[in-house]
């Protein structure tokens, strides 16, 4: 018994060490970016590495917010993200419900179809989307970009949400049906409220993906009117001298919302990602 | 709204529920993809409209076959995807095994470890560009201080290290996805199996090889295929970190296709490159699924 206890304790130490190292690996770059964002330029661009800032400044935050179009970019991103989530919530929820609750000819083929479209290369879609959107005046618009985002986020939403609907108990729904509720009534009043945690988590996952997206935005937006923050941040690299402090500040501003919502819904979201990926 | 309720009682209701999403997917996925495929047989150069948009048969594919950059990019794509997947899988497995021991206080570490996966490519790219910067990079400073490096190194400017450095960044960004899925898979393995193995005297390595990995096969297959699709399809991170350089050391297919479209405005050639990428990806996916399934039986 003594050896078992000792070897367990050894494994415990190894476990903590491994997790501590991995957490440091994951958080180190974020922490360094934060440090950079509050350092003065003399502490960033220096011959001898400055680990502890000689003084703390929020100039980079002020500068990126007042001397660049970052506020506009952030607002554009908020609008595009909101539209993407709205489209997914409406079109995706009912599709996921259909897959989760009914059995009908063509169901599994259609489900497979929703999975396979995730394999289509973004670049292959972006070129025709660019041409089509230019001809119907959707190029460089927020709604155009949001529609483009549904190409990869709607199928993902349907697959994740299907898992949450399948996990929701059927009994209440059946009871409502017996009481004379229509299928629509049962879906809206019973099933959707039961699965609301899943809806929130899936919605947040889609929101984060839309908020972070870079490639479509780079290709499909050209002006201030619709350009999102990732594209704007990337373009600042060439625009400003020694942009490190500003880039770090911009990066911190844009990941704060992600970190906050992730912290709030991570448990449910993780369950949804797992279900959507493994059952797929 | 009453008519909607009535409609929901018809036998077509389940199909009607699919209509909005199907219309959207047809419009923003299927139509563009088919359009893109036929574009690969046509001339389309935005900066040279005089050339017109007529059919040119296999011109783009023949050019591609003779294009050394294409072959370099194909090879780099294979290296990029394979190395990143292996590294992400190993890191993810270690993280999942450690988290699955459920020691006190590790739950919060588990949440922190997932964070990079949810961060934007653009920010990830800039973070690591600064960390690995040839003059201001803190990683260089640490490596010099502990004596591994003599002087600061320009990781992304040296063809010998550019790809490896990019893969490290990608692993940072992508390994939490493996950790997440593998941890879910581990939780599904009945603990009786390990108790029985303990009684039979199977050691840690044997248990990993004979119980854990076989039981995780479905999860691993799903995770690998999703990551391969993501890695091959999206040029984002390399676009930000290296833009394919130095020279062509980190040029991958998706980035090459993107540059053909975005920089050269040669949409026909870009489409041909994407079609080839798509076909290769489909071949890989179906072969991989077949192998994974055969092994399961």
Place B145 in a pLDDT band, splitting at 50, 70 and 90: confident
CB atoms within 10 A of CB A194: 16
Record the pTM: 0.89
pLDDT tops 60 at residue B6: yes
Summarised one tens digit per residue, pLDDT across range B219-257 is: 888 888 888 988 998 899 999 999 887 888 899 999 999
Domain boundaries, chain B: 68-296
Place B160 in a pLDDT band, splitting at 50, 70 and 90: confident
pLDDT score of A2? 54
Give the residue, A4 or B133, on which the prediction is more confident.
B133
Contact B206, B274 (CB under 8 A): no
The residue behind tokens 């607002």 is A75
Contact A94 B17 (CB under 8 A): yes
**CATH code of the domain made up of A69-278:** 1.10.3720.10
* Rama region for A89: left / alpha / beta (φ>0; ψ in -120 to 50; rest): alpha
pLDDT score of A209? 92
Place A280 in a pLDDT band, splitting at 50, 70 and 90: very low
Chain B neighbors of A101, CB-CB under 8 A = 14
Instruction: Provide the H-helix boundaries in A38-141.
Output: 41-44, 59-66, 70-87, 93-101, 107-116, 122-135
Summarised one tens digit per residue, pLDDT across range B55-114 is: 888 888 999 899 999 999 999 999 999 999 999 999 999 999 999 888 888 888 888 898
Summarised one tens digit per residue, pLDDT across range A222-260 is: 888 889 999 998 888 877 766 888 899 999 999 999 999
Place A122 in a pLDDT band, splitting at 50, 70 and 90: confident
The neighbouring-strand residues paired with A39 are: A56
Under CATH, domain B68-296 is a member of which superfamily? MetI-like (1.10.3720.10)
Domain boundaries, chain A: 2-37, 69-278
CB nearest A19 (choices: B13, B99, B234) = B99
Tell me the mean pLDDT in the region B10-28: 90
Query: How deeply is B7 buried, as exposed, middle or buried, from its count of CB atoms within 10 A (0-12, 13-18, 19+)?
Result: middle
3-state helix, strand, coil in chain A (%, to 5): 80, 0, 20
Which residues are CB-contacts of A16 (< 8 A; sequence separation ≥ 6)?
Answer: B103, B106
pLDDT score of B204? 82
Instruction: Pick the residue of A121, A243, A268 with the most B CBs within 10 A to test the interface with B by mutation.
Output: A121
A29 near B CB under 8 A: yes
Among candidate residues B250, B78, B92, the one with its CA nearest the CA of residue B174: B92
């Amino acid at each position: 018994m003594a050896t078992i206890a000792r070897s367990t304790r050894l494994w415990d130490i190894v476990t903590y060490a491994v997790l501590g190292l991995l957490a440091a690996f994951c958080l180190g770059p974020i922490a360094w970016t934060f440090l950079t964002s509050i350092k003065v330029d003399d502490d960033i661009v220096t011959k001898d590495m400055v680990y502890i800032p000689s003084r703390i400044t929020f100039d980079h935050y002020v500068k990126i917010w007042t001397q660049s179009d970052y506020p506009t970019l952030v607002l554009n991103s908020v609008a595009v993200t909101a539209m993407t989530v709205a489209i997914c919530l409406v079109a995706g929820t009912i599709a996921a419900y259909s897959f989760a609750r009914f059995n009908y000819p063509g169901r599994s083929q259609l489900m497979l179809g929703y999975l396979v479209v995730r394999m289509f290369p973004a670049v292959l879609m972006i070129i025709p989307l660019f041409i089509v959107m230019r001809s119907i005046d959707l190029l460089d618009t927020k709604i155009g970009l949001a529609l483009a985002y549904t190409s990869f986020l709607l199928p993902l939403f349907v697959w994740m949400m299907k898992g949450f609907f399948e996990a929701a108990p059927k009994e209440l729904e059946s009871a409502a049906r017996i009481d004379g509720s229509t299928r629509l009534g049962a879906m809206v009043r019973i099933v959707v409220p039961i699965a609301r945690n899943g809806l929130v988590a899936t919605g947040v996952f889609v929101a984060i993906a839309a908020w972070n997206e870079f490639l479509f935005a780079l290709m499909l937006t050209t002006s201030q009117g619709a350009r999102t923050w990732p594209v704007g941040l990337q373009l600042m690299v060439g625009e400003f001298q020694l942009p490190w402090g500003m880039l770090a500040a911009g990066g911190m501003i844009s990941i704060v919302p992600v970190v906050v919502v992730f912290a709030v819904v991570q448990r449910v979201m993780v369950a949804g990602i797992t279900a959507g990926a493994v059952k797929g | 709204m009453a008519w909607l309720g009535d409609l929901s009682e018809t036998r077509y209701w389940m199909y009607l529920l699919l209509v909005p999403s199907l219309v959207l997917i047809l419009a923003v996925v299927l139509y563009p993809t088919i359009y893109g495929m036929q574009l690969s047989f046509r001339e389309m150069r935005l900066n040279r409209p005089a050339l017109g948009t007529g059919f040119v048969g296999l011109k783009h594919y023949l050019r591609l076959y003779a294009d050394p950059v294409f072959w370099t990019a194909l090879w780099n794509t294979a290296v990029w995807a394979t190395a990143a997947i292996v590294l992400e899988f190993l890191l993810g497995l270690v993280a999942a095994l450690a988290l699955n021991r459920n020691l006190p206080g590790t739950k919060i570490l588990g949440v922190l470890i997932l964070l990079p996966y949810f961060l934007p490519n653009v920010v990830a790219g800039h973070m690591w560009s600064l960390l690995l910067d040839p003059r201001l990079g803190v990683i260089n400073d640490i490596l010099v201080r502990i004596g591994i490096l003599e002087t600061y190194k320009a990781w992304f400017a040296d063809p010998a290290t550019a790809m490896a450095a990019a893969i490290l960044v990608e692993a940072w960004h992508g390994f939490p996805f493996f950790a997440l899925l593998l941890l879910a898979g581990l939780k599904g393995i009945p603990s009786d199996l390990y108790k029985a193995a303990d009684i039979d005297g199977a050691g840690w390595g044997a248990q990993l090889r004979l119980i854990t990995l076989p039981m995780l096969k479905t999860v691993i297959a799903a995770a690998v295929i999703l990551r391969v699709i993501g890695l091959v399809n999206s040029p984002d991170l390399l676009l930000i970190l290296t833009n394919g350089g130095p020279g062509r050391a980190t040029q991958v297919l998706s980035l090459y296709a993107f540059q053909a479209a975005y920089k050269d405005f040669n949409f026909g050639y870009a489409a041909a490159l994407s079609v080839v990428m798509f076909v290769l990806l489909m071949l890989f996916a179906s072969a991989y699924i077949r192998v994974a399934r055969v092994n399961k039986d």
